[in-house]
Amino acid sequence: MHADALQTLIDDASADFALGENESALAKLQQAVSAAPDSFEAWHALAEVHFSQRHLDDALVAADHAHRIRPKDLFINTTLSRIWMERGDKTRAEHFGAQARMLSWKEELAQPADQEPPLR
């Protein structure tokens, strides 16, 4: 799948999700990860939609895929922390939460002193 078509599919799925059309969003994101299994954005979006629907096992599978693609991403570490907390595994939740905090601090330290850090 061409990069532009993939991004359009992910954007359409995100719009569906925002409108409460969760099944359509999931179908589009499943199509995206099938067509582009190395797409971090598609896997992360799929994890978030599954998480919102309380499909914790599916959310974890999707988040694990995204994490394997981009393990040093602040947001996927945060997603994994939230999933593990909901699953009742505080130790794993804290591990990924700590990873997210360290990545956030690393980003802040990389900012020039005269530049404001990005809003979160």
Higher-confidence residue of 47 and 118: namely: 47
Q: Is 36 left (phi over 0), alpha (psi -120 to 50) or beta?
A: beta
CB-side neighbour CA atoms (13 Å) of 4: 0
23-61 residue pLDDT tens: 999 999 999 999 999 999 999 999 999 999 999 999 999
**Helix residue ranges per DSSP H, the chain:** 3-18, 22-35, 40-52, 56-69, 74-87, 90-110
User: What is the pTM assigned to this prediction?
Assistant: 0.83
Rg of the chain over all Cα atoms, to the nearest angstrom: 15
Average pLDDT over residues 16-27: 97
Domains present along the chain, CATH in parentheses:
3-110 (1.25.40.10)
